C-alpha cells in the first residue's frame, strides 16, 4: 500500500468519462497507487444530457439516438488504473463521501419498450424531476411527500476479462450496474480484479432507491463530490462483488432468472461463512436460514440482483 496516501482529483469531462460499456481496452484517465484517495465528480446519464425538466418526448428521442449507436445510457467516470492490481486480486473501494447535485430524475419508459417491473400496466412514459433540500437532506416528491437522500453509485466496476465488452447497464462478476442501495458513504465494495490495474469506473449515482428499483430508475442524479479510497488486496479471493457496511457483509448474485440470482447470492454467503467463520457448510446453510436476509436488489437491469445481508452482530469476535 502507498505510504503517502496521495489524494487525486478527477473531474468528469468529455475526456474523463466513457458511456455504455466496460472493456479492458478503454485507456485509463488516472493512474494511482494502492492506498490513494480520489476526489471525483460524475455526470448524469446520456453524457449529462439527462437534465432537470426533461420531457418524456425528449427522453424517448435521446434514448433512440443512443440505441442506434448501440450504446447504453450510463456515463462513467474513469477508468482508474491502480498500480499493483493484478488478475486474481481484489480491489477494495472505500466509499468515504457522496455529495449529490441539487436535483434528480425518475423515469419510466413507454410500456412497449418492455423495461421495468410492470411495463404492461404503464403504456406511457414519464419523467419526474425532484429538487433536493440540501439542509434537510430530502428529495421533494410533492408538498406532502419527501424522500430521505441516501446517495450511492448505481454503477461501480472494474474492467471485465480481456476480450470481453460488457454493457454498463447489466451487473455481472466484475461489478457494473449493481444498484445496491446499501453502498452509501462509510461502506466498502470489494471487486475481483480481472486485468492489470483493475481499471475502475463509476457513475449512475442515485440519490435514493427502493429495493427492486421497479419502474426502471431510482432518483437519478450526479455527484458534486465523491471521495473514494482504493486498496489492492492480495489476501482476498472473490468470484463476485462483496459489500461491507458497519453492520453487515453483503454477498450479491446476478442472473437473468431471479431464482438463479438467489442461489448465487446464497452460495456465496455460505462460502463466506465457511471461509471466514470456520463453520461447516451445513452450519453455514443453517445460519443463512436463521439470520441472513435475502433482498431483491433490482429487477430491471437485464441480470436481476439479489443480495444476502449477513449480520455482524451474531458473531462474538
Per residue in 7-50, pLDDT (tens digit) is 999 999 999 999 999 999 999 999 999 999 999 999 999 999 99
Residue 170 backbone zone (phi > 0: left; psi -120 to 50: alpha; other: beta): beta
Instruction: Identify whether residues 209 and 296 lie together within a single domain.
Output: no
Listed residues 218, 237, 256: the one ending a domain? 237
For the chain, how long is the longest CA-to-CA vector? 56
Over 50: is that where the pLDDT of 253 sits?
Answer: yes
Say yes or no: 232 and 261 in one domain.
no
Residues 214 and 289 in one domain: no
Q: Based on the fold, state whether residues 164 and 197 are members of the same structural domain.
A: yes
Radius of gyration of the chain (CA): 19
Q: Given CA atoms 312, 91, 176, 153 in this order, what sign does their dihedral have?
A: positive
- Residues 233 and 251 grouped into a single domain: no
Whole-number pLDDT of residue 175: 98
Q: Residue 260 falls within a domain, yes or no?
A: yes
What pLDDT shows up at residue 4?
66
With 0-12 CB in 10 A as exposed, 13-18 as middle and 19+ as buried, what is 164?
middle
Mean local confidence (pLDDT), 261-284:
98
Q: Which domain holds residue 256?
A: 247-314
Mean pLDDT, residues 37-66: 95
* CA nearest to 8, candidates 83, 87, 103, 80: 80
- What is the distance between the alpha carbons of residues 48 and 46, in angstroms, rounded to a whole number? 5
- Mean pLDDT across 225-254: 98
User: Model's pTM, two decimal places?
Assistant: 0.96
pLDDT confidence of residue 3: 53
**Buried-exposed string 56-74: b where 16+ CB fall within 10 A, e elsewhere:** beebeebbeebeeeebbbb
The two beta strands, 152-157 and 145-148, are unpaired
Question: What percent of the chain has a predicted confidence (pLDDT) above 90?
Answer: 97
Q: Is there a domain that residue 26 lies in?
A: yes
Instruction: Summarize pLDDT for 79-130 with one digit per residue, the tens.
Output: 999 999 999 999 999 999 999 999 999 999 999 999 999 999 999 999 999 9
Q: Considering the chain, what is the average pLDDT of its residues?
A: 97
CA dihedral for 93, 96, 100, 106, sign (positive or negative) = positive
Residue 2 has pLDDT above 50, yes or no: no
pLDDT at 317: 77
Alpha-carbon distance of 145 to 131, in angstroms, equals 12
Amino acid at each position: 500500500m502507498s505510504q503517502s496516501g496521495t489524494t487525486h482529483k478527477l473531474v468528469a469531462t468529455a475526456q474523463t468519462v466513457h458511456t455504455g460499456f466496460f472493456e479492458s481496452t478503454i485507456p485509463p484517465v488516472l493512474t494511482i497507487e494502492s492506498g490513494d484517495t480520489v476526489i471525483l465528480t460524475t455526470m448524469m446519464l446520456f453524457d449529462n444530457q439527462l437534465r432537470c425538466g426533461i420531457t418524456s418526448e425528449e427522453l424517448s428521442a435521446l434514448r433512440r439516438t443512443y440505441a442506434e449507436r448501440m450504446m447504453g445510457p450510463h456515463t462513467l467516470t474513469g477508468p482508474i488504473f491502480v498500480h499493483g492490481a493484478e488478475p486474481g486480486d481484489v480491489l477494495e473501494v472505500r466509499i468515504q463521501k457522496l455529495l449529490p447535485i441539487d436535483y434528480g430524475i425518475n423515469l419510466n419508459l413507454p410500456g412497449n419498450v418492455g423495461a421495468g417491473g410492470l411495463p404492461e400496466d404503464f403504456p406511457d412514459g414519464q419523467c419526474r424531476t425532484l429538487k433536493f433540500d440540501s439542509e434537510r437532506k430530502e428529495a421533494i416528491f410533492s408538498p406532502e411527500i419527501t424522500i430521505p437522500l441516501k446517495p450511492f453509485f448505481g454503477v461501480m466496476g472494474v474492467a471485465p476479462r480481456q476480450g470481453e465488452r460488457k454493457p454498463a447497464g447489466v451487473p455481472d462478476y466484475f461489478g457494473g450496474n449493481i444498484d445496491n442501495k446499501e453502498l452509501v458513504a462509510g461502506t466498502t465494495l470489494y471487486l475481483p480484479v480481472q486485468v492489470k490495474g483493475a481499471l475502475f469506473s463509476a457513475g449512475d449515482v442515485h440519490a435514493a432507491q427502493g429495493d427492486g428499483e421497479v419502474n426502471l430508475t431510482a432518483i437519478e442524479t450526479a455527484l458534486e463530490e465523491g471521495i473514494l479510497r482504493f486498496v489492492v488486496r492480495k489476501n482476498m479471493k472473490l468470484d463476485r462483488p462483496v459489500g461491507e457496511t458497519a453492520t453487515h457483509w453483503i454477498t450479491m448474485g446476478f442472473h437473468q432468472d431471479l431464482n438463479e440470482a438467489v442461489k448465487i447470492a446464497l452460495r456465496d454467503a455460505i462460502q463466506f461463512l465457511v471461509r471466514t467463520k470456520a463453520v461447516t457448510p451445513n452450519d453455514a446453510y443453517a445460519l443463512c436460514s436463521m439470520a441472513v436476509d435475502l433482498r431483491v436488489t433490482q429487477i430491471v437491469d437485464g441480470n436481476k440482483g439479489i443480495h444476502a445481508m449477513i449480520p455482524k452482530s451474531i458473531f462474538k469476535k
